[in-house]
Structure 1
Amino acid sequence: MLKRMIIMLILVTVLFGGIFGYKAVGNYFMNQFFDNMPMPPAAITASTVNTAQWQPTVNAIGSFAAVNSTELTTEASGIIRSIRFKNGALIKKGELLVQLDDSVDQAELARLKAAEQLAKLEQSRLERLFRDNGVSELELRRRESEAAQASAAVASQQARIAQKSLYAPFDGVAGIRQVSLGQLLTGGTTVVSLQSLDPIYLNFTLPEQQLALIEVGKPLTVRVDAYGEQAFSGVITAVAPGIRESSRSIEVQATFANPQQLLRPGMFARVSMTTGEPNTVTLIPQTAVQFNPYGNSVFVITEQDGQQIAQQRFIRTGEARGDLIAVIAGLEPGEQVATSGLLKLRNGAVVNIVENSQAEPSAELRPTPANQ
């Protein structure tokens, strides 16, 4: 009985050993088959390295600011008797904007003027008496002082009345008023904003390395999102004398004529200035470049034994415009670089270039159907 069980165990062991051995050998040969099976060519799109003439430019981001801008307030307190302007209206320098009730002040002014007149009459009378030795010089000087004090009181009251009127300090455009007719206004309360829009300033900064490229009087163009690709021309009118230590940048201010008031304070602007003569640059689509901290690279397509092979090559890139980027070193005009399917490529991979159905890359900063 024991001998029979031993024989059964041996047979079962041999059977299962054979099964597992068969599977192991099969898996080994299957892995060898797949490892040695050639990879199918990776489908990619490619572009030829070209050259073009690029005008060197200095680009920056800026913001428009009014030449004159203020929040108008009254110096005195009082009830608003009249509002003489409309929201958003063009305002001339010296134009009356708001008048506070000054009836009490006017009455006080009338009283002070009467007192002034009486003091001057008394002064004139004593001057005649003094000439006839009718009064002492001390008495005359006292009357002269009283007359002067009366005149000063009149002038002081007139100044208080003037504070009840709000005038425009410069030509500009009124904002939206913050007060209403009949409102009790306290001194220092904002009534309305006033901004001069023509001309208008543009403030922006540049890295200190570009200081030599700018000077007062240099023309520049800007574009703003509100008007698409419409360009506005201006001129640099001020360059700060020092460099910001925190950012190593320099402040620049340009001035733009703005007769139609299209440009408004606070608008975001893209600045462009041309410098020097056009240069010949080597160009490839930005989609061809793999940007990495350790260096930028592309896959160059070469012909080997009748097959197209992708070879990784490190390059040095320069300025980018629109869909294109300049290559400073690493590529020659006429070479082909992969522009899509880069993630499935490795050095030495066989590729199959397919037709690119996408629009051609453009150097336009904001491509549109018209320039694609």
Structure 2
Amino acid sequence: MINKSLKYIGVLLLAYTLNACNEQRMSSSSETTTPVWLSEVGKRDIRELTTTTGTAKAAKTVEVKSETNGKYELMINPKTKRPYKLGDIVEEGAVIIKLNNKEHENTVSLPTKKMQVDIAKKEWEGQKAVFEKGGATEKDVLNAESSYIQAQSALESAYTDLAKLTIKAPFKGAIVNLPYFTPNVEIASGETMVGLMDYSHMYMEIALPENTIDKVKVGQKVLVTNYNIKSDTLSGLVTQLSPAINEDTRTYTGFITINNPELKLRPGMFAKGEIITLQKDSVIVIPKDIVNSRRGGNRIVYTIEQNRAMEKIITTGISDDRFIEVESGLNQGDKIVVKGYEFLRNRGKVKIMK
């Protein structure tokens, strides 16, 4: 009787054991395996940027007006061998327009002024020679010198008056305004003749949010782009910052200067400026979008051990639009999940694809 009972108990235990093993195998086979792609942790330079926008303006701009009347004559551009036109680059001092006025030239009488200077100079030198021999007084010499100075002054005034008949470029720049006048038409004094801009150097007024006031500093470098010149990044510099916050917008004003040597950025264009507020060289960085946040403020990424996803708590530093610095928690050469991380859980089973 006892033997039968023992045999019955043994059969029950064996059946239970077989059933448990079968359930474990079924549970193991039903666990989801997530495909993941890995990348090796490396080092690179990273910059923390503060982004702002504004309208780019030329550093120098001027409208030259006529200072006297005369008949209009548009000059020939020596570079193109054609009359000056909008968009032409002119050198400093280049004559763009002439106003022909013979009456004005005769009134100025430049040849007479030159002759009077020569006469006054010779008279002064003659008086000095006579004075040395005792034939003239010191007063005679001083009067002769005064006459020479007055003659020089009159000549300079004559040159200034004649210069009013020529419209010159006060600096190297592009013609941005050139009102049309019929050749030989009489131009009155005070007419706008030409507008010039030098936009090889530009500036941009910006408005920055108040939470950046401790980060943005005068002298910081700026990366400047425009949607029309995406492939080219221009260099700039923060030159001025207001200490006052606008109560309505909660922003403060600043100015950025922009180097534009190839004239790719045009006056009036809308531009984006990325101010480099902090830069670190050769630090551990990872893609910004693979970092997950957990309750309690922990930030994690996934590594793989024995085909299992393992959470790694990391401490992060500065970031840009793509990467984030890892201050602790990872080492150079570690392999982390960069694709498929969205579906992972700690110790979840994975299949490495790459």
Taking structure 1 as the reference length, the TM-score comes to 0.51
Give the distance between the partners of 1:221 and 1:142, measured in 2 at CA: 63
- Which letter maps to 1:218? K
Provide Cα deviations, 1:54-98, integer angstroms capped at 9, x if missing partner: x98644331111122222234444333443432211122222222
Provide Cα deviations, 1:292-329, integer angstroms capped at 9, x if missing partner: xxxxxxxxxxxxxxxxxxxxxxxxxxxxx9xxxxxxxx
SS across alignment from 1:200: strand
Give the distance between the partners of 2:224 and 2:194, measured in 1 at CA: 32
Could you say which residue in structure 2 is the equivalent of 1:62?
A: 54
> Which runs of structure 2 are paired with 1:175-324 in the superposition (5 Å)?
175-180=176-181, 181-215=183-217, 216-224=219-227, 226=228, 232-246=233-247, 247-272=249-274, 278=288, 280=291
> Which runs of structure 2 are paired with 1:86-97 in the superposition (5 Å)?
86-97=85-96
Give the distance between the partners of 1:133 and 1:233, measured in 2 at CA: 72
Contact kept, 8 Å, 1:102 with 1:161, in 2: the verdict is no
Deviation at 1:209, TM superposition (A): 1.4
Deviation at 1:240, TM superposition (A): 1.5
Could you say which residue in structure 2 is the equivalent of 1:308?
A: none
Provide Cα deviations, 1:179-214, integer angstroms capped at 9, x if missing partner: 533343344432222112224333321112112333
Contact kept, 8 Å, 2:52 with 2:274, in 1: the verdict is yes
- Any gaps of 5 or more consecutive residues in structure 2? 1-46, 77-83, 279-284, 294-320, 322-341, 344-354
What is the percent sequence identity of the aligned residues?
Answer: 22
Could you say which residue in structure 2 is the equivalent of 1:144?
A: 145
Contact kept, 8 Å, 1:239 with 1:250, in 2: the verdict is no
- Which letter maps to 1:203? E
Give the distance between the partners of 1:233 and 1:192, measured in 2 at CA: 29
Give the distance between the partners of 2:274 and 2:125, measured in 1 at CA: 74
Count the aligned residue pairs.
229
Q: Sort the Cα spacing of 1:102 and 1:120 in 2 relative to 1 into closer, same or farther, 3 A.
A: farther
Could you say which residue in structure 2 is the equivalent of 1:341?
A: none
Could you say which residue in structure 2 is the equivalent of 1:168?
A: 169
Which deviates more from structure 2 when the two are superposed, residues 205-214 or residues 249-258? 249-258
Which deviates more from structure 2 when the two are superposed, residues 196-205 or residues 245-254? 245-254
Could you say which residue in structure 1 is the equivalent of 2:63?
A: 71
Deviation at 1:241, TM superposition (A): 4.2
SS across alignment from 1:213: coil
Provide Cα deviations, 1:103-139, integer angstroms capped at 9, x if missing partner: 4455411112223333344444544554555455444
Contact kept, 8 Å, 2:236 with 2:259, in 1: the verdict is no
Taking structure 2 as the reference length, the TM-score comes to 0.53
- Which letter maps to 1:158? Y
Contact kept, 8 Å, 1:199 with 1:257, in 2: the verdict is yes
Give the distance between the partners of 1:147 and 1:275, measured in 2 at CA: 62
- Which letter maps to 2:193? V
Q: Sort the Cα spacing of 1:183 and 1:242 in 2 relative to 1 into closer, same or farther, 3 A.
A: farther
Contact kept, 8 Å, 2:50 with 2:277, in 1: the verdict is yes
> Which runs of structure 2 are paired with 1:343-362 in the superposition (5 Å)?
none
- Any gaps of 5 or more consecutive residues in structure 1? 1-54, 283-320, 322-332, 335-372
Give the distance between the partners of 1:121 and 1:221, measured in 2 at CA: 62
Could you say which residue in structure 2 is the equivalent of 1:112?
A: 113
SS across alignment from 1:242: coil
Contact kept, 8 Å, 1:236 with 1:252, in 2: the verdict is no
Contact kept, 8 Å, 1:223 with 1:230, in 2: the verdict is no
- Which letter maps to 1:251? T
Q: Sort the Cα spacing of 1:196 and 1:168 in 2 relative to 1 into closer, same or farther, 3 A.
A: same
1:100 equivalent to 2:99? Answer: yes
- Which letter maps to 1:175? V
Q: Sort the Cα spacing of 1:94 and 1:116 in 2 relative to 1 into closer, same or farther, 3 A.
A: closer
Give the distance between the partners of 2:166 and 2:151, measured in 1 at CA: 24
Give the distance between the partners of 1:183 and 1:201, measured in 2 at CA: 38
Structure with the bigger RCO (C-alpha within 8 Å, sep 6+) is 2
Give the distance between the partners of 1:125 and 1:140, measured in 2 at CA: 9
Contact kept, 8 Å, 1:81 with 1:182, in 2: the verdict is yes
Contact kept, 8 Å, 2:237 with 2:258, in 1: the verdict is no
Structure with more strand by fraction: 2
- Aligned CA-pair RMSD: 3.6
